[in-house]
Structure 1
Amino acid sequence: MNASYGTLIAPRELAQHLGEADWRIFDCRHDLTNPDFGRAAYARGHLPGAQFLHIDEDLSGAMSGTNGRHPLPEPDALAARLGRLGVANDMQVVAYDDAGGMFAARLWWLMRWLGHHRVAVLDGGLVGWCEAGQALTPAVAAFPATTYDFSLKPTTVDADFVQGHLRDDRMTLIDARSPDRFRGENETLDPVGGHIPGARNRFFRDNLTARGSFRQASVLREEFARLLGGQDPRRVVHQCGSGVTACHNLLAMESAGLSGSRLYPGSWSEWCANLHRPVATGAED
């Protein structure tokens, strides 16, 4: 088997593997306010050999009104979609976007949830790829269909688990949203502003340098260790607005060698849909 990447891959490293039979690349560009953006951007130009996956249509399940804005897809449906796109269990998968990994990290986490560890996010994304002098193409790639087999990993918790462990040292809850939304200010995506009581705020963009690449692993490790205050990473639960950018913090911790944390997929959008659940506002309490 060729080189295996499990967290991040640099543009020049990915360029060396273009066209290899056991590599699959996915464009995950998206705009929360314009669902058609990603597909249109992909059509204009993308990495050679890349296929497109839509955050809402492919990487999320059906909304019920109480399960959040981006509920997890049914694993059978996701596996079938991957198989139709030519992904086999032993292949290297690479995800990218143009937002610092904001959406690509969702595919990274979903693949690991399915039990696939040979999956990485393109560090620096589309911008980093172009800055490295690499080309884009409008050509649409197609590969022979496969059968993708999965084995779900216990990497999620639900709202009942979170509510049962509020202010409990058996759970450290990390919210990936911007500080203002965490405080309950400038909320435009969800009907209620605020955060889950006891949560700690780590804005996912703090994982990135000014150029949009992930910070060095040593820096991430130091920052997350300070945030955790000595807590075991395996007790960490990540959330955000809808379970998408929380995956960015999961990826950052994993790249820093802090493994074992879990995702609350419903996140704030599910939590606040039930008016009986407690809500906090302001800075961390």
Structure 2
Amino acid sequence: MDRRRRDEVLITATELAALLAAGDPVTILDVRWQLTEPDGRDAHERGHIPGAVYVSLEDELSDHSVEGRGRHPLPSGLAVEAAGRRWGIRNGVPVVVYDDWNRAGSARAWWVLSAAGVENVRILDGGLAAWTGALESGPVTPEPGDVAVPHEDLYAGALPTLTADTVMAADTLLDARAPERFLGHVEPIDPVAGHIPGACNAPSTGFLAGDGTFLEEKDLAQLFGDVDDVGAYCGSGVTASVVVAALATLGIDAALFPGSWSEWSSDPTRPVETG
């Protein structure tokens, strides 16, 4: 896969405003999601970037009918294509995704769309808080799009992935959860506390500056140096997408373990480390 630059992964609010002011075609997706508020539709309808279409991480960027793949299994390519057309995504038209909480929802959308083979998808750096323009209220129903998705299986799509059988083979394995969950001091969601043996704790929020923008290249490079063969996981494959996106700004193609800790910990035969 070609190495990406920062401006191929991220777009600033100023750049997005310029696109809109120029009347250039762009599809904007509002992917508001939080652990404590997984349905962001009400927040979207109260105020969103003009023209932005609401995307449900729970219902459209996950497929809960899939068993054994953790709490947020990946959707199929066909499902992504159908959803993308509902959202108005068109072939050759850039897509901008944003959220309002730690880049989790937008990074998940960026990863899912990119893994499906949709090109020119970028995350709004800093999220909704970075947007200084006017907001619109109410629902948005766009003209149907015509996007074609080339990858049916996102687990073997355009972005690298790891499975429960291969995740421990990664040279560098990053656990994007909060330190207390990584250490096994608490586990509020999954059946077992701890982490995958050999993993290093790298909370996804540590890849962001205080204003919610991604750390600059020099700061990320100081954290990671010249790493290779990197894998990332979290609780269920959502916030680990933030880590993958951050490393992509350095040209590092980190592999995501989509099922993450929720899949790993569901099998009592798999080893667990704490501390």
Q: TM-score, normalised by structure 2?
A: 0.90
CA distance in 1, matches of 2:24, 2:86: 16
Provide, for residues 133-163 of structure 1, a one-character-per-residue CA deviation record: whole Å limited to 9, x for no partner. Answer: 3111104333321332122315212111225
Alignment match of 1:50 (pick from 52, 66, 69): 52
Q: Distance in 1 between matches of 2:273 and 2:204?
A: 20
Q: How does 1:57-136 map to 2 (within 5 A)?
A: 57-64=59-66, 66-129=68-131, 133-136=132-135
Equivalent residues of 1:238, 1:261 under 8 A apart? yes
Shift of 1:50: 0.2
Greater CA deviation, 239-248 or 92-101? 92-101
Task: Please tell me the residue identity of whatever aligns with 1:246.
Answer: A
Shift in Å, 1:63: 4.8
Equivalences for residues 1-285 of structure 1 within 5 A: 6-18=8-20, 20=23, 22-36=25-39, 38-64=40-66, 66-129=68-131, 133-152=132-151, 153-163=158-168, 165=169, 171-225=171-225, 230-232=226-228, 235-255=229-249, 257-282=250-275
CA 1:273–1:63: 2 relative to 1, 3 Å: farther
Superposed CA offset, 1:206-252 (max 9, x none):
11111221111121122122xxxx542xx111110000000100111
Mean CA deviation greater in 151-160 or 191-200:
151-160
* Backbone CA RMSD of aligned residues: 1.8
* Greater shift in the superposed pair: 20-29 or 97-106: 20-29
User: How many Å separate the matches in 2 of 1:191 and 1:48?
Assistant: 41
> Could you tell me which amino acid in structure 2 is paired with residue 147 of structure 1?
D
How far apart are 1:6 and its partner, in Å? 2.2
Q: Which deviates the most, 145-154 or 68-77? A: 145-154
| Contact 2:114–2:159 (Cα < 8 Å) also in 1 | no
SS state of the match for residue 218, structure 1? helix
* Identity, % of aligned positions: 40
CA contact (8 A) 1:66 1:274 kept: no
**Does the 8 Å contact 1:123/1:214 carry over to 2?**
yes
Distance change in 2, residues 1:151/1:53 (3 Å)? same
Corresponding residue for residue 154 of structure 2: none
Q: CA deviation at 1:35?
A: 3.0
Moved more, 87-96 or 245-254: 87-96
Distance 1:72 1:63, change over 3 A: same
Moved over 6 A (4+): none
* TM-score w.r.t. length of structure 1: 0.87
Shift of 1:108: 0.6
Q: How far 1:111 sits from its partner (Å)? A: 1.4
> CA shift at 1:281, angstroms?
0.4
CA distance in 2 between counterparts of 1:77 and 1:219 reads: 37
Give distance in 2, aligned partners of 1:266 and 1:52. Answer: 24
Q: Which runs of 5+ in 2 are unaligned?
A: 1-5, 152-157
Asked if the contact 2:182–2:274 (Cα under 8 Å) also holds between the matched residues in 1, the reply is yes
- Cα distance, 1:126 vs structure 2: 1.1
Q: C-alpha separation between the residues in 2 aligned to 1:63 and 1:268?
A: 19
The question of whether the paired residues in 2 share the 8 Å contact of 1:208 and 1:215 is answered with: yes
The C-alpha deviation readout for 1:181-227, integer Å capped at 9, x for no partner, is 100122112121100000111111011111221111121122122xx
User: Deviation at 1:91?
Assistant: 1.4
Query: Secondary structure of the equivalent of 2:174?
Result: strand
Q: Residues 108 and 120 of structure 1 are in contact (CA less than 8 Å); yes or no, is this contact kept in structure 2?
A: yes
Contact kept in structure 1, 2:117 and 2:149, CA below 8 Å: yes
